[in-house]
A and B are shown apart, each in its own frame.
Chain A
Amino acid sequence: MRDYGADSVSVTEVAVATNGDVVKARQMVRTLAQSSGLSLVHQTKLVTAASELGRNMLVHGGGGTVRASAVVEGPRKGVWVEFADHGPGIEDIGLALTDGWTSGNGMGLGLSGAQRLVDEFDLDTGSSGTTVRIVKWGR
């Protein structure tokens, strides 16, 4: 995946430490999705993915930072979002990305479901934390 975060001029961010912050992060992503001209369905998918990943970060990573930015590639416009925490990392990525597998009390759809809702998905995890980056394109 391209390093959209470094390429972008204006990145907005929200620190996530509580449930209320997840809502704030969600709203930030929605505003970006709207201004980037994503269709209603695409907006909904992106914001839902952000909600899943934001909650994941809070529950498993002990909170972190959500950064988001509008991205352009040729004629396409989209939204890039990054979720970075300093939690213990994910032990088995393959397992974490499996439908129905859960380490918490969710439905086990957080990571795998979010991945299906976006066009690009990038997961980077280690003992010093986990970073998930997603992109949803307008078309």
Chain B
Amino acid sequence: MTDRVPVLKIGDVLLVSIQTDLEDQMVLDLQEDLSNRIVATGARGVIIDISALEIVDSFVGRMLATNASISRVLGAETIVVGMRPAVAMTLVELGLSLDGVRTALNLERGLGLLRRLQASRSDRA
């Protein structure tokens, strides 16, 4: 049994803070947990904090992109926050650009972006 990454709920936002070096199985588990929790809680936003991650390879990168797509289908916006400069430079070189994934510099800015997105959505509604 591998460890699972905890998914925290704050209001209508789900917060995932990845603190350990990810094993592939944990990545897959997280993807499953997240979609379950979005449905169960009716969350409108998901923030994935990767500021503690020293590397993001194509597998984790793909998980981030897939999560963004899945949560969008389920009516929630995903924002990836805190990517380290070295990680961003490596991903670019690797050929990954995470198109379609919203990003923010840190948790605070991520929450701000979520709020703005929700505001503009309710404006339109």
Interface residues of A (CB under 8 A from B): 19-20, 22-23, 26-27, 30, 40-41, 43-45, 47-48, 51-52, 55, 99, 106-107, 109-110, 112-114, 116-117
Q: Which residues of B contact A22 (CB under 8 A)?
A: 23-24
Cβ A113 vs Cβ B94 within 8 A: yes
Cβ A99 vs Cβ B54 within 8 A: no
- Give the docked Cα–Cα distance between A26 and B55 (Å): 10
Q: Which among B2, B59, B89 is the interface contact of A44 at CB below 8 angstroms?
A: B89
Q: How many residue pairs bridge A and B at CB < 8 Å?
A: 73
In the complex where A106-B58, A109-B58, A109-B96 touch, is A44 in contact with B24 (Cβ < 8 A)?
no
Q: Which residues of B contact A43 (CB under 8 A)?
A: 86
Cβ A48 vs Cβ B94 within 8 A: yes
A-side binding surface: helix, strand, loop or mixed? helix
Chain B, interface size category, equals 20 to 34
Q: Does B61 have its Cβ within 8 Å of any Cβ on chain A? A: yes
Cβ B93 vs Cβ A112 within 8 A: no
For the complex of A and B, the 9 pairs showing the least CB-CB separation, nearest first, are: A113-B94, A44-B86, A51-B57, A19-B24, A109-B58, A41-B86, A19-B23, A48-B55, A44-B90
In the complex where A22-B24, A27-B21 touch, is A52 in contact with B90 (Cβ < 8 A)?
no
Q: Does B62 have its Cβ within 8 Å of any Cβ on chain A? A: yes
Q: Which residues of B contact A55 (CB under 8 A)?
A: 24, 57, 59
Cβ B54 vs Cβ A107 within 8 A: no
Q: Which of B79-113 contact A (CB under 8 A)?
A: 84-87, 89-90, 93-96
- Give the docked Cα–Cα distance between A44 and B23 (Å): 17
Cβ A48 vs Cβ B24 within 8 A: no
In the complex where A23-B23, A107-B62 touch, is A44 in contact with B95 (Cβ < 8 A)?
no
- Give the docked Cα–Cα distance between A113 and B25 (Å): 22
Q: Which residues of A contact B86 (CB under 8 A)?
A: 40-41, 43-45
Residue of B nearest to A51 (CB): B57
Q: Which residues of B contact A45 (CB under 8 A)?
A: 86, 89-90, 93
Q: Does B47 have its Cβ within 8 Å of any Cβ on chain A? A: no
In the complex where A40-B86, A44-B90 touch, is A52 in contact with B58 (Cβ < 8 A)?
yes
